[in-house]
Amino acid sequence: MDNNPAMIPKPTLKLLRSLQQKKFRDQHGLFVVEGEKMVLELIDAGERMETKILIATAEWLKEHGNSFGTGIRVIESSMHDISKGSHLVTPQPVLALVKIPDEKDPSPVQGSGMALGFEAIRDPGNLGTVIRTADWFGIGEIVCSKDSVDQYNPKVVQATMGSLFRVRVRYVDLKQQLESWSGLGKPVYGTFLEGENIYEIPIEQSPLVLFGNESKGLSSELTPYVRRKITVPSFGSSKAESLNLASSVAVICAEIRRRGSMPLIQSGN
Amino acid sequence: MDNNPAMIPKPTLKLLRSLQQKKFRDQHGLFVVEGEKMVLELIDAGERMETKILIATAEWLKEHGNSFGTGIRVIESSMHDISKGSHLVTPQPVLALVKIPDEKDPSPVQGSGMALGFEAIRDPGNLGTVIRTADWFGIGEIVCSKDSVDQYNPKVVQATMGSLFRVRVRYVDLKQQLESWSGLGKPVYGTFLEGENIYEIPIEQSPLVLFGNESKGLSSELTPYVRRKITVPSFGSSKAESLNLASSVAVICAEIRRRGSMPLIQSGN
């Protein structure tokens, strides 16, 4: 506990606020996790996620005891002070500063398991939702091109609802990654508005499914690595231009998992 | 054109800014549509959407001519002034003030066609995405409980990507609506975490699918009207608590449309 129980020390507040920006997250190797649900998931996540500082109100700390493990600096603070450092519209009584995991092991992906790839995904809500969707459908691997939004952006973290602690997201040279995957024989599907109806074609298990930027789609640079172009069909005379990216990811993941679980119905695949 | 071509008149700027709040949208009967894509969709939408004021830069107006129909007040403005009134993080060179459609005809729903119902949907991004998804899957009708986020909230409008101009969203007493639909024999499905796997049960065509609040789910008040509880199954040993609401809507709509288009594969339904 700090000496003054109702205040966040000024340097800590300054640090906390700075972590809204990627530059400072990179510099300090830290990101922010806010809210009770998220912090409890964080504590559950175990070793991969190392909490450095936990800031909470006296009430919150009283209710949740001191079961935060050793090595965590706990700062008791008023809601007023938490609000000053919070990235949320409606601040909550607890937040944590967490070490960005040092993924030393970008092990050459085995080609086993289903994976998702994103080129220039830009909307933080989309990336966060996609990480949550991957978690729901048991997909442990996401790769993003380097110009994608950062997974530790506060809006991304919030939208994952804790799934960020379970799904590995790597920022890679997508072209190089695709070359290596193609070499390993991993089937690569790419989503295009003019792609084939996913319900009318066979889809191999354990594919990589590639999604393009929210407004531009997949670039011609990556197209040569796509084995098959797919799409989620619209219905009737819909005038909608496209589905939201995260919604499209959910539909495609659900369909691939449905087929995997129901080989008798889709015996042709 | 106004006298000073580079400025938005002060009262107009004040009006524009006030429309971020529901109270003032209701008072003036107006909402804001921002960005080139959205404004072009708006012009396409025809009679249902009545544009009152269009504000754009000289460059934008030069490029798009005067094909905005009669009765629209066109104000030429600098980007600087547009930025002062914009609700966007990255303002665009055009925006419009549009009359909220006067839906005089809340015609008793015929019980035909698929519909979506939402209880206390709160996140503007979710509602906007859901409207876009409904448009994609040819679902013309959405009903929301009265404590849901307003469809003319700027963040909702933006997330619909123009689908707001094609999908009808009504705010109703959900309980009463469900009573009337049940009386008409319309099948009502409700989404619950503990519901039946959607891939393992028959689903009638043209249902109403009911979704609960983002954190609380469906209330016990509405449960009696649900014919069958359904869920999107997770995969493997997923520890994720739930799917994002808009993602869950997309998966369920896609699956119902898939079955409707493929009667031979799902002949049991």
Query: Distance of alpha carbon A264 from its chain centroid, rounded?
Result: 33
Instruction: Write the pLDDT tens digit of every residue in A257-269.
Output: 999 875 444 334 3
Instruction: Write the pLDDT tens digit of every residue in B22-33.
Output: 999 999 999 999
Instruction: Write the pLDDT tens digit of every residue in B59-98.
Output: 999 998 766 777 889 999 999 999 999 999 899 999 999 9
Measured in angstroms, the CA of A12 and the nearest CA of chain B are apart by 28
Please choose, from the candidates B193, B181, B48, the residue with its C-alpha nearest in 3D space to the C-alpha of residue B115: B181
Mean pLDDT calculated for residue range A118-145: 96
For residue A269, the model assigns a pLDDT of 38
Q: Which of B233, B247, B261 sits opposite A250 (nearest CB)?
A: B247
Confirm if A24 and A18 have CB atoms less than 8 A apart. Answer: yes
Instruction: Write the pLDDT tens digit of every residue in B112-136.
Output: 589 999 999 999 999 999 999 999 9
| Alpha carbon distance B245, B214 (integer Å) | 6
Annotate B122-169 with three-state secondary structure.
CCHHHHHHHHHHHHHCCCCEEEEECCCCCCCCHHHHHHHCCHHHCCEE
Interface test with A, best of B258, B259, B265, B267 (most A CBs within 10 A): B258
Q: Do A135 and B255 touch (CB under 8 A)?
A: no
CA dist B264 to A204, B188, B259, Å? 22, 24, 9
**Residue B247: its chain A contacts at CB < 8 A?**
129, 132-133, 246-247, 249-250
How big is chain A by its Cα radius of gyration, in Å? Answer: 21
Q: Indicate the range of B8-17, B190-199, B253-262 predicted with least confidence.
A: B253-262
**Residue B252: its chain A contacts at CB < 8 A?**
none
Interface ipTM: 0.91
Q: Do B254 and A251 touch (CB under 8 A)?
A: yes
Instruction: Write the pLDDT tens digit of every residue in A54-72.
Output: 999 999 999 987 667 778 9
With CA atoms as reference, the chain A residue closest to B129 would be: A244
Mean pLDDT calculated for residue range A176-191: 91
Measured in angstroms, the CA of A254 and the nearest CA of chain B are apart by 7
Measured in angstroms, the CA of B241 and the nearest CA of chain A are apart by 8
What does the buried/exposed string (b/e) look like for A11-27 if buried means 16 or more CB atoms within 10 Å of the residue's CB? ebbebbeebeeeeebee
Instruction: Write the pLDDT tens digit of every residue in A205-252.
Output: 889 999 999 999 999 999 999 999 999 999 987 888 899 999 999 999
The residues on A that touch B, with CB distances below 8 Å, are 125, 129, 132-133, 135-139, 159, 161-163, 166, 199, 232-244, 246-251, 254-255, 257-258, 260-262, 265
pLDDT at A107 over 90: no
pLDDT at A112 over 90: no
Please give the mean pLDDT across all residues of chain B: 89
Measured in angstroms, the CA of A253 and the nearest CA of chain B are apart by 9
For residue B185, the model assigns a pLDDT of 86
Query: Distance of alpha carbon A21 from its chain centroid, rounded?
Result: 17
pLDDT at B189 over 90: yes
Residue B228: burial class (beta carbons within 10 Å; 0-12, 13-18, 19+): middle
pLDDT at A157 over 70: yes
